[in-house]
Amino acid sequence: MVADDDWRLQGQENYLQGAVLVRRPYRQYAKSATWDHDHCEFCWATFSLHVQPDHLQEGYATEDDYHWVCEICFRDFAERFQWSVRKAT
């Protein structure tokens, strides 16, 4: 379990506690034509459609694709935030 003073914890429980996440390739947020990247809600790793060495192309997203969580942070916080995972459709 991650310590309560972990630098990545910044109030995400307000919108991610008990969330349903979907593991999927990164995709642009549907409500914006110019949205071309996102950041992990915890460590700020970049999710992007652009293939670059430091950009992630897959991770865990809320069902509306608005919030993204990288693999490492998912493993670190899944139990604490009581996430459930739904298969991508």
pTM of the model: 0.92
User: Which helix (DSSP H) or strand (DSSP E) does residue 68 occupy?
Assistant: strand 68-69
pLDDT at 29: 77
pLDDT at 72: 97
Count of structural domains within the chain: 1
Beta-strand relationship, 46-48 and 37-39: antiparallel
Closest CA to 17 of 87, 78, 72, 60: 78
pLDDT at 82: 97
Please give the average per-residue pLDDT across 58-69, as a whole number.
Answer: 95
Q: Evaluate whether residue 59 is within a structural domain.
A: yes
Q: Evaluate whether residue 4 is within a structural domain.
A: no
Q: Evaluate whether residue 42 is within a structural domain.
A: yes
Q: Evaluate whether residue 6 is within a structural domain.
A: no
pLDDT at 21: 98
Boundaries of domain holding 48:
17-26+36-86
Q: Which two tokens stand for residue 27?
A: 């995709």
Q: Evaluate whether residue 10 is within a structural domain.
A: no
Confidence of residue 88 (pLDDT cuts 50, 70, 90): confident
pLDDT tens-place string over residues 21-58: 999 999 887 667 778 899 999 999 999 988 888 999 99
Token match 């060495």: residue?
Answer: 53
